Structure 1
């Protein structure tokens, strides 16, 4: 059990880095470049995913799988499902429940964090 807690905490540290990248780029593209909010969200999320893959592979899960391409494919699949879940949550919280866009993004990020950790622990890096 202790190993799962330790990995969860490490995953959280990597996740915070990803959130900074995700939110920073989303804000930049949405507010400064005036991109569509969903396109800005996809871009920020995607760059964070690439960053998170490498940190989680080498630090959190200490993967020694020589087939890193397949591993990245699994990570990308989990992340893509997470992205769809992220956008669905933003849509529900922002469009339907009328939360501020960034408040909706915080809730979406928390939900997707749980999805990503569980999926990557038991599917991508098992």
Structure 2
């Protein structure tokens, strides 16, 4: 299996943890706390990103970041994740508030778009070893 594909599949598998956290917060927020879907999704995204950072640092990109410190990797990862959070929240507002989609289909499409964004940013910037730049 090509390294890029293996790394993407590992990234996606690791992302299930963060996505699970996000979806749980989304469901609890909408169904029990009467939050708007975009707000609940955004809060869940932030909480899930902590798990995703740690799992990606130690598993997905461990051979790629070399001696990169957590300080540098986390700063770059959270720049990517922050932009991803804006993308996630904006798409949820668009799909749910303006296009009147149900929140689950909206979140599934938003998650797929975010997966591509987060993987590309993580692989080619956040966890990239300076020697491979």
Alpha-carbon distance, 1:61 to partner: 0.4
Query: Does residue 53 of the first structure (1) align with residue 53 of the second (2)?
Result: yes
Shift >4 Å, 4+ stretches: none
Equivalent runs, 1:1-126 vs 2, <5 Å: 2-62=2-62, 63-126=65-128
Q: Decide which moves more: 72-81 or 36-45.
A: 36-45
User: By how many angstroms is 1:36 displaced?
Assistant: 3.6
CA contact (8 A) 2:38 2:93 kept: no
Residue 35 to residue 97, structure 1, CA distance change in 2 (3 Å):
closer
Render the CA deviation track for 1:17-68: whole Å, top value 9, x for unaligned: 2111110112112222223433322211111100000000010000443520
TM-score, scaled to structure 2: 0.87
Please provide the CA RMSD for this pair: 1.6
Q: What is the CA distance between 1:8 and its match in structure 2?
A: 0.2
TM-score normalized by structure 1? 0.91
Number of equivalenced pairs: 126
